[in-house]
Structure 1
């Protein structure tokens, strides 16, 4: 027996907007937890006790308290540092993007080899995919193309046969 949906979902907003709202509420829930920790500290609990009540380590509690003491509310706002700097500069990425536009179809392996040859930088396949994704390049299995196919094959199919 196939499960069919009995009540269809109405899409009031786009998926992108929905994901943005989820991100906003995620930030709010993180801030709530941090403010709750500060409130517990105000009420007289020690850092390890307050940390346990909100479900964080004591080290994180001390870190939050230090940021609170230095900056107040602004110090509790999550700071997402982007991670390790890219091996390619922004200018080199722009050059790479232009180079990739010169050919219609690129495999991830070909793009990785191009980066190695042109810039002397070695990336993992996963990182190459992330770079290509940041260029809005689409990933799909390429349609096989027969090297024996004549350039005017479409026209040849449209012509009526001689026997008609």
Structure 2
């Protein structure tokens, strides 16, 4: 047992076993567990809780909690425990149904989507959260505009005239060049 500030550290594993546990946690991409095991390894090597905590970047109160967790349950005591968070307001089946409804009846305004969710599922979402969830599902809000309101009435004639000018097709001396088609494209 190692004496580290007012408490004894229970040596559940040898240093080699701790190294192996760190390696296993790294391979499993458990970064929080790796950090906690490195803290314990520092304690094994003679650091005080404060010194070991400084090396891994944790507060004094956290050093105490991690040391107590190690003493009580070893590696399992150091594993982060998450409650899973708040359950979603809509089940995955309801969310899939909503997405299908939104895709069928396009276009939707944000207010219409909120009203649909509230009427159908009796659930409300904050507008910012709903837009995040819709983006995650591959949807985006957009204003459908079949025609730009700033577009002039004779836009097609203006485009044809400007293309003719740009390509030099108004010029009678270029009649022999007209045989070869011109292709427009955008390249990256």
The TM-score, its normalising length taken from structure 2, stands at 0.50
Calculate the aligned-residue CA RMSD, in Å: 3.0
- Aligned residue for 1:99, secondary structure, equals helix
Q: Please state if 1:125 is matched with 2:141.
A: no
Q: Distance in 2 between matches of 1:47 and 1:65?
A: 8
Name stretches of at least 5 consecutive residues in structure 1 with no aligned partner.
1-23, 147-164
Query: Is the 1:108–1:128 contact (alpha carbons within 8 Å) kept by the matching residues of 2?
Result: no
The residue aligned with 1:85 is 87
Label 1:70 to 1:129 Cα distance change in 2 as closer, same or farther (>3 A).
Answer: farther
The count of residues paired between Structure 1 and Structure 2 equals 121
The residue aligned with 2:143 is 142
Label 1:140 to 1:88 Cα distance change in 2 as closer, same or farther (>3 A).
Answer: closer
1:57 to 48, 56, 59: 59
Label 1:37 to 1:89 Cα distance change in 2 as closer, same or farther (>3 A).
Answer: same
Label 1:85 to 1:35 Cα distance change in 2 as closer, same or farther (>3 A).
Answer: same
Label 1:80 to 1:105 Cα distance change in 2 as closer, same or farther (>3 A).
Answer: farther
The residue aligned with 2:47 is 45
Instruction: Write the deviation string for residues 34-63 of structure 1: whole angstroms up to 9, x where unpaired.
Output: 232111211233333322332112233233
Instruction: Write the deviation string for residues 92-148 of structure 1: whole angstroms up to 9, x where unpaired.
Output: 2233223222212233332222111222212111221232133222x25334135xx
Deviates more, 1:35-44 or 1:57-66: 57-66
The residue aligned with 2:182 is none
Query: Is the 2:110–2:141 contact (alpha carbons within 8 Å) kept by the matching residues of 1?
Result: no
1:79-118 equivalent positions in 2, closer than 5 A = 82-118=84-120
The TM-score, its normalising length taken from structure 1, stands at 0.55
Label 1:81 to 1:129 Cα distance change in 2 as closer, same or farther (>3 A).
Answer: farther
Q: Distance in 2 between matches of 1:66 and 1:136?
A: 45
Q: Distance in 1 between matches of 2:120 and 2:49?
A: 53
